[in-house]
Each structure stands twice: as C-alpha cells, then as structure tokens.
A and B are shown apart, each in its own frame.
Chain A
C-alpha cells in the first residue's frame, strides 16, 4: 500500500488538519454542552413532568453516545469511517429485516449481508467499478440463487424485500463510506452528518412553532408544511455557510452551488425520513426497534441519512471530482 493510502485510512494524526473539521466539531460539542443548560432552564421556568424530564435526559445521553460513535471513526481515519458505515448498514438491514419479517428467510438475508459486506470491501478498496457493479450483481444473486430453494410461494416478496433492503442500506448508505475515499473526507462526512441531523431538528422546531397544515398526514401525522420549509431554509443556510469552509479551494466554493447542495440535503433528508415513516406505517409499527434508548431503532435515527448519502456523493463528484489523487484498488490490485 502506498503511504498516501495508509495516511488516509489510518492517519489519525491528520484528524484536525482541516479548519472545517474543527469548526463542525465545535458546533456539535457546543450544542451538546448547551442542551443540558436549556433543559435545566426550561425546567426551572415551567417544571416539566417527571416522565418528560427523564425522557429528555435520556435522549441527551443517547445523543452524547451517538456523537462519540459517529465522530470518533471519522476522526481516526477513513478505514474506521468505512467500517462504521458498514456496521451501520448491517444493523439497519437487521432492523429492516426484523420489522418486515424478511429475517425469517435466512438465505435471502444471507445474500443481502454478503452484498453489504462486498460493498464495504469495494469502498475500502477504492474500487468504484466494483462498487457500481455490486448493485446489479446483488440483485441478480437475490433473484437467481433463490430459485435453488425451489419454493415459489413468497418468491416475489422475499426477492423484492431483499432488493429494497440492499438498495437502501447496502448501496445507498454505502455512498457515505465512499465519501471517505477523498483525501479531505473528514469535513465532508461531518458536514453531511451534522446537516442531516440539523435538518431533522429544524423541521421539528419550525413545525412546532409555525406548523398548521399537514405535510402528508397519512404517512407521518406530525409533519407540517411549515416544518418542511423551515428545515429547507435553516439547513440550506447552514450548509452554504459551513460549506464555504468545507469546500474551500474546490469547484464547490461557489454560493449557488452550495445553496443547491443545501437544498438537496434538506429535501432528500426529509424524503428519507418519510420513506421510513411509510415503511413503518405499512407495517403498523411505531419504532423499528429498541437499539437506542429514547430514539427507537438505529433506523429511526439514521433514516434521513440513507438517501442523502448518494445524492451528496454524486453532486460533489459531478462538480469537484472525488479523491482524484488517491490510488485506486488498494487491496485488490484490480486494473480498473
């Protein structure tokens, strides 16, 4: 392996090379530090119910753990980032499979997991052609190898669910890991993570403040049009301002492009949220699991991220190119 790849994959000493990384971390840590103060102040002015207070603290603590779990791999190196994304893909798929009942189809699940692990390898290897090829290949294996079971009853359902699971959690989410194949991936990945979470919070807050008309009441009764618009405005402003730092010196250091990026993150993020709401509604479930106390399943937290990852990846790639100086196929040595 060339030193440049090693440095990107394991070079924790470069964690704070970019000012934008420090800026984003500062924002997150600041918010996390202020939250307890806000809870205490709110409690003082108008005492909360015990249950409500306990829930707020539990949520805050869960966030603390989540932030460490998300930030640590990104700072430590691209290898750890990719590993964390692959783990996230697997856990999200597990929740999806258990919620739909697909997990009882062990063979289908095994094929999806193999697909997700293969995506993880393609990402780590910086082998884009394999990364792209894995979508049709996994679909082919899901549809094709199932025939061996000689059990046509439920074939369409298990193949379709397997493909949807792989598309969302293997292929789409895999793009988040692929972002780490750029030399300056840290700030970009953090920007995506922070702005997607901000987007959720902004929609919630502006919905609470101004929301009257429902966005799509059958899918998610608590979402309002005002919330959606507020989220677009706040997220776009944030992405444009912080993006100026993150993409300094690249083709994206350009206001209109950054504003469009902000709109993409906000709109696609909200769509991802609604995708999961639709899935849950269809299944008649409230949460996808109980992985994170106070939040529900991991999917309930990361739903907005799933569709944002490929959207941001291809937008940035289109303008700026991606990891152009980085060696490709580091481990496989494939010539493509």
Chain B
C-alpha cells in the first residue's frame, strides 16, 4: 500500500506580508471566493459597459498550464484576458503584475492578490534566475499566467517591442503560449485615466505556440519574444494602432 501524500501549502511559513510578495502564494477558501466573485462581476461589467467580444475563443485553453500574452496599453488588459477563461480554473490563473506598481503599497497589494490573483514581477531584476520560479510553478502546479511582454503600458496606444524576459520564462518549455490582441482598451482607459470610458473592446485570440525546441539562451529569448510579438501583431486588424513602430522595426 502506498502512503498518503500530504502537501502542505507552499507559503505555509510566510507571514501575511511575505505571502503577498511571494510567488509561492496559494489561495485559501476566502480568497478563492473573492476571485470568483470578482471574475463574475468583471464579466458582467466588461460585457455591459464595453460590449466585450472575443474572436477565436476556440484557441483558448481550458486547462492549465498555459500562458496568455497580449499587447498592453491599459489597466483593463489583465481583467480583459481573464474574463473569457473558465471560472473553474480562476484560482490557477495569475496575472503577472509589476512589483513597483502593484505590490509596494500594502492596500494595493491586498487588492491585487485578493481580487486579481496577481503575482509580482520585478521589472528591474528580470534575470533568468528570477524568472525560473515562474517557469517552475507553471508546470509544477500546473497554473496559467496572463502576461504582457512589453514590460509596461504603452502611453500612446502603439505597441512597444516585446522584452526578451518572456523568453527566459518559456524557452525549452512545453507550455503552450496563446497570443492575444486587445483592441479598444487604450481608447477606454489609457494610462492616467481613472474611470474607463464606454468604448467597445475586442479580444482576438490566436493559435497557441510552444517553444520547447528554442534554446534557453540569449538568442533563444530574443527569438521567443520576436515570434510572440509577430503573432500578436498578426492578430491586429489592418489599420489598428498597433502596427506602427514595432511593425516597421520587425520588417526591417
């Protein structure tokens, strides 16, 4: 007879503050309830206020592990990408959020973890070692990430080049990455705006990519970032704000 395996919470020995900052955080029942309530509320809000439509829904995975990446121009983006995912995996979907924006003030960190289920990433120290913990959790648990490889919100709505950090997380990894394009979030709630305007928002989902065969080195990381960037741009409708500087750079 094999022994029962007990698996204590990975964040068992952390204080409440450490727990919020940690990548090992696991939701308890109350937090799961909050995530669920928030997800339901967001779905209703995005549908009613922004008339959210999702094209290519069939490309969305139903089970972790997976990673969603998209262009980033608004605080709405993470909420938007989470909205079409099944509620049953809500606890396993983490929005990867900038530590300096979401995790330095306690009140904001509480909101980010309790409702958004956000995990902190440091923009200053995005090294392979720092990202390996993300990589590990993705397959161990398994879980899913919502991630914006531009490394910050675009201030003019035009897409910024994807940073190679995404490659450090995904090169040589079998986890599928789903490119998405968000259209309308910049018009609804650009950086600096508090309350979103009533603008239509569309998410276009593309077929997933994997980078198992890409080498986990600098060239590989750049390759991953470049291919994902291309995939997101390809989803953008002709004449949309995205295809400008980045597209030109890519063509050259």
Q: Which residues of A contact B (CB under 8 A)?
A: 94, 97-101, 103-104, 106, 109-110, 113, 157, 282-283, 285, 287, 289-290
CB of A290 within 8 A of CB of B14, answer: yes
Q: Find chain A residues with CB under 8 A from B32 CB.
A: 106
The interface stretch among B5-13, B44-52, B195-203, B208-216 is B5-13
Pair B8/A285 contact, Cβ less than 8 Å: yes
CA distance A98 to B12 in the complex (A): 7
The complex places the Cα of A282 from the Cα of B9 at a distance, in Å, of 15
CB <8 Å contact, A101 and B29? no
Shortest distance from the beta carbon of A218 to any chain B beta carbon, whole Å: 17
Residues on A with C-beta less than 8 A from B91 are 106
Q: Nearest chain-A residue to B19 (Cβ)?
A: A290
Interface residues of B in 13-34 (CB under 8 A from A): 13-15, 26, 28-29, 32
In the complex, are the beta carbons of B28 and A100 less than 8 A apart?
A: no
Known: A106-B91, A285-B12. 5 other contacts (CB 8 A): A94-B28, A97-B28, A98-B28, A157-B4, A287-B13
Cβ of B29 and Cβ of A99 under 8 Å apart? no
Task: Indicate if the CB atoms of B8 and A101 lie closer than 8 Å.
Answer: yes
A166 CB, nearest partner CB in chain B, Å: 14
Tell whether, in the assembled complex, residue A110 and residue B29 are in contact, meaning their CB atoms are under 8 Å apart: yes
Lowest 3 A-B CB distances belong to which pairs?
A101-B7, A98-B9, A109-B29
List the interface of chain B (C-beta within 8 A of A).
4, 6-9, 12-15, 26, 28-29, 32, 91
Which residues on the B side are within 8 Å of A287 (C-beta)?
A: 13
Q: Are A113 and B28 closer than 8 Å at their CB atoms?
A: no
Nearest CB in chain A: distance from B61 CB, A:
20
Please tell me if the beta carbons of A283 and B8 are within 8 angstroms of each other in the complex.
Answer: yes
Establish whether residues A98 and B8, one from each chain, have CB atoms under 8 Å apart when the complex forms: yes
Expressed in whole angstroms, the Cα–Cα distance for A211 and B8 within the complex equals 33
Which of chain A's residues has its CB closest to B36's CB? A106
Q: Judging by beta carbons under 8 Å apart, are A282 and B6 in contact?
A: yes
Residues of A within 8 A of B9 (CB): 98-99, 101, 103
B32: nearest chain-A partner, CB-CB: A106
Neighbouring B residues of A94 by C-beta, 8 Å: 28-29
Main secondary structure of the interface of A (DSSP, over half): helix
The closest CB in chain A to the CB of B13 belongs to A290
CB contacts (< 8 Å) of A289 on chain B: these are: 12-13
Alpha-carbon separation in the docked complex, A289 to B12 (Å): 6
How many angstroms between the C-alpha atoms of A295 and B58 in the bound complex?
51
* Chain B residues closer than 8 Å to A282, beta-carbon distance: 6
The one of B4, B15, B28, B29 in contact with A290, judged by C-beta atoms closer than 8 angstroms, is B15
- Measured between alpha carbons, how far is A285 from B26 in the docked complex, in Å? 18
Inter-chain CA distance A100–B26, complex, in Å, is 13
Alpha-carbon gap, A181 to B4, bound state (A): 41
Instruction: Name which of B12, B14, B28 has the most chain A CB atoms within 10 A of its CB.
Output: B12
Question: Is A99 within 8 A of B28, CB to CB?
Answer: no
In the assembled complex, the CB of A38 is this many whole angstroms from the nearest CB of chain B, namely: 28
CB <8 Å contact, B12 and A103: no
A98 to B91, CA, bound (A): 15
Cβ-defined contact, A100 with B6, below 8 A: yes
A99→B11 CA distance, assembly (Å): 10
Could you tell me if A104 and B26 are in contact, using CB atoms closer than 8 angstroms? yes
CB A109 to nearest CB in B, in angstroms, measures 5
Query: How far apart are the CA atoms of A104 and B91 in the complex, in Å?
Result: 10
With A and B bound together, what is the CA distance between A110 and B26 in angstroms? 16
Closest beta carbon of chain A to B208's beta carbon, Å: 26
Distance of B214 from chain A, by nearest CB (Å): 32
Q: Is the CB of A100 within 8 A of B13?
A: no
Provide the residues of chain B in CB contact with A109, threshold 8 Å.
29
| Residues in A whose Cβ lies below 8 Å from that of B13 | 287, 289-290
What residues of B have a CB within 8 angstroms of the CB of A157 in the complex? 4
Complex interface: chain B residues within 8 A of A103 (CB): 9, 26, 28-29
Task: Name the residue of chain A whose CB is nearest to the CB of B88.
Answer: A106
Residues of A within 8 A of B4 (CB): 157
Could you tell me if A101 and B28 are in contact, using CB atoms closer than 8 angstroms? Answer: no
- Min Cβ gap A116→B in Å is 11
Assembly CA distance A282 to B6 (angstroms): 9
Interfacial chain B residues near A97, Cβ < 8 Å: 28-29
Which residues of B have CB within 8 Å of A106?
A: 29, 32, 91
Q: Which residues of chain A have C-beta atoms less than 8 A from B29's C-beta?
A: 94, 97, 103, 106, 109-110, 113
| A93, chain B: closest CB distance, angstroms | 9
Q: Contacting A99 at CB < 8 Å: which of B12, B14, B15, B26? A: B12
Q: A289 CA to B13 CA in the complex, in Å?
A: 6
The contact of A100 among B8, B14, B15, by CB within 8 Å, is B8
User: 13 A-B contacts, Cβ less than 8 Å apart?
Assistant: A94-B29, A98-B8, A98-B9, A98-B12, A99-B8, A100-B6, A101-B7, A106-B29, A106-B32, A109-B29, A157-B4, A283-B8, A290-B14
In angstroms, Cα B29 to Cα A287, docked, is 21
Chain B neighbourhood of A290, CB < 8 A:
13-15
The docked-state distance in angstroms from the alpha carbon of A106 to that of B91 is 10
A98 to chain B minimum Cβ distance, whole angstroms, is 4
Nearest chain-B residue to A94 (Cβ)? B28
Give the chain A neighbours of B8 by CB distance below 8 A: 98-101, 283, 285
Nearest to B8 among chain A residues (CB) is: A99
Closest residue of chain B to A99 (Cβ to Cβ) is: B8
Q: Which residue of B lies closest to A112 (CB)?
A: B29
